[in-house]
């Protein structure tokens, strides 16, 4: 007797692999812009993270007696590692990237049952662990004006040798947080390098926005989570920024500085760890936006996507519980 399949007998040809490839492709403009402004550090991070990630994935799959080729090909670990590496500071040394990847792939993903079963976004979990464990290494940001050349970066990446004080500086969000009695405008006019940094971040964010819009157009995800996140962050920033422009960073600062666009289109759209329904995704995105603003403004970290995303990951089952769509034809 032949095996009979239930309908439908037609498939649209959509594959998980295709989705992952599209995400990788859409992140390329952002990666290139980041390299353009901040040097080769990010490239080193990306390559190393993906290598380590693939190795770890293969190792775990072998331990769990799962077919290697089948799962390595799905590309999910590459996406995780890419996003993690993009979020890490360009001056992260090899051991930091390794530890972050290890946490992401081993602890956040496979210990929970692998692809599709992890409650926390693996990239953000890896990032957050390192941010808490190695705060100093996780906050060295290169200035867009001075960064290592390829050889210098190579040396730094492996041996952490070189004069990094010359090439690091506070990020604009950091600077706006620690005003030390000045207004934002006073601080900016006193520090032209911060203004320059902000320009660079604007372009990086724009590149991610472009990639994200492309994914949206290709229907890789729906607009709900990123839309809600950007809207809630924008509204919070707009309200406070308009109220006291001297103390609070403006609407555009919040949307185009830090990891805003990367998070909005690449991180919080991770389907596995977000809420399920479209309504749920709206709540999920809005929650992240609000949390990010709160932590950026009143918390002790200048940027806060990792924590905001993890906190909302925690709430996703609850959101799902209360955001069931109305049944077809159900009277309101």
Tell which one of 1, 63, 136, 217 touches another protein (CB under 8 A): 1
Tell which one of 10, 63, 136, 217 touches another protein (CB under 8 A): 10
Tell which one of 9, 63, 149, 300 touches another protein (CB under 8 A): 9
Q: Site residues for another protein, window 276-305 (CB under 8 A)?
A: 276-278, 281
User: ∠ at Cα 119 (94, 287), nearest 5°?
Assistant: 95
Residue 184's H or E segment, with its range, is helix 184-190
Site pattern 11..30 for another protein (x: CB under 8 A): xx-xxxxxx-----------
Structure tokens at 7: 């309908």
Please, what is the minimum distance in Å from the beta carbon of residue 192 to another protein?
A: 45
Q: Which is nearer to another protein, 300 or 331 (CB)?
A: 331
Q: Which is nearer to another protein, 17 or 155 (CB)?
A: 17
The gap from C-alpha 91 to its chain's centroid, in whole angstroms, comes to 17
For residue 106, CA distances in Å to 54, 79, 111, 122 come to: 11, 15, 6, 9
Please, what is the minimum distance in Å from the beta carbon of residue 47 to another protein?
A: 24
Is residue 113 a contact point for another protein (CB under 8 A)? yes
Is residue 63 a contact point for another protein (CB under 8 A)? no
Structure tokens at 239: 């309200």
Is residue 66 a contact point for another protein (CB under 8 A)? yes
Give first-to-last CA distance, the chain, whole Å: 49
Percent of the chain as helix, strand, coil, to the nearest 5: 65, 0, 35
Q: How many CA atoms lie within 13 A of 78 on its CB side?
A: 17
Is residue 69 a contact point for another protein (CB under 8 A)? yes
Closest by CA to 76, choosing from 92, 95, 96, 60, is 60
Residue 119, Cβ density class (10 Å: 0-12 exposed, 13-18 middle, ≥19 buried): middle
The window from 99-107, 132-140, 274-282, 296-304 that contacts another protein (CB under 8 A) reads 274-282
Q: Which is nearer to another protein, 80 or 232 (CB)?
A: 80
Q: Which is nearer to another protein, 171 or 269 (CB)?
A: 269
Is residue 139 a contact point for another protein (CB under 8 A)? no
For residue 75, CA distances in Å to 39, 71, 270 come to: 26, 8, 13
Please, what is the minimum distance in Å from the beta carbon of residue 220 to another protein?
A: 8
Please, what is the minimum distance in Å from the beta carbon of residue 273 to another protein?
A: 8
Query: Number of residues in contact with another protein, rule: CB under 8 A?
Result: 50
| Strand-pair partners of 168 | 142
Which residues are at the interface with another protein (CB under 8 A)? 1-12, 14-19, 66-71, 74, 76, 113-117, 219, 221-222, 271-272, 274, 276-278, 281, 320, 324-331
């Amino acid at each position: 007797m032949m095996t009979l399949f239930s309908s439908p007998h037609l498939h649209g040809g959509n594959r998980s692999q295709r989705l992952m490839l599209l995400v990788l492709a859409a992140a390329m403009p952002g990666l290139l812009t980041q390299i353009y402004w901040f040097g080769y550090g990010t490239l080193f991070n990306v390559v190393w993270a993906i290598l380590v990630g693939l190795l770890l994935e293969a190792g775990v799959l072998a331990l769990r007696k799962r077919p290697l080729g089948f799962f390595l090909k799905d590309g999910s670990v590459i996406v995780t590692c890419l996003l993690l590496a993009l979020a890490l500071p360009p001056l992260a040394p090899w051991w930091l990237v390794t530890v972050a990847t290890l946490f992401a792939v081993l602890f956040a993903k496979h210990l929970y049952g692998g692809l599709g079963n992890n409650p926390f976004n693996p990239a953000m979990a890896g990032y957050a662990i390192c941010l808490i464990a190695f705060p100093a290494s996780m906050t060295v940001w290169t200035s867009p004006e001075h960064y290592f050349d390829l050889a210098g970066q190579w040396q730094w990446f492996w041996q952490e040798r070189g004069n990094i004080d010359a090439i690091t500086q506070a990020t604009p969000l950091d600077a706006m947080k620690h005003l030390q009695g000045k207004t934002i405008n006073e601080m900016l006019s006193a520090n032209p390098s911060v203004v320059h940094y902000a320009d660079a971040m604007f372009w990086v964010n724009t590149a991610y926005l472009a990639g994200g819009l492309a994914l949206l157009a290709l229907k890789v995800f729906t607009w709900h989570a990123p839309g809600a996140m950007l809207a809630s962050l924008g509204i919070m920033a707009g309200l406070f920024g308009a109220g006291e422009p001297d103390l609070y960073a403006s609407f555009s600062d919040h949307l185009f500085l830090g990891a805003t666009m990367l998070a909005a289109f690449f991180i919080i759209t991770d389907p596995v760890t977000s809420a399920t329904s479209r309504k749920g995704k709206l709540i999920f995105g809005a929650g992240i936006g609000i949390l990010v603003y709160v932590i950026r403004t009143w918390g002790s970290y200048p940027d806060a996507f990792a924590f905001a995303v993890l906190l909302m990951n925690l709430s996703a089952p609850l959101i799902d519980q209360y955001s069931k769509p109305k049944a077809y034809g159900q009277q309101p």
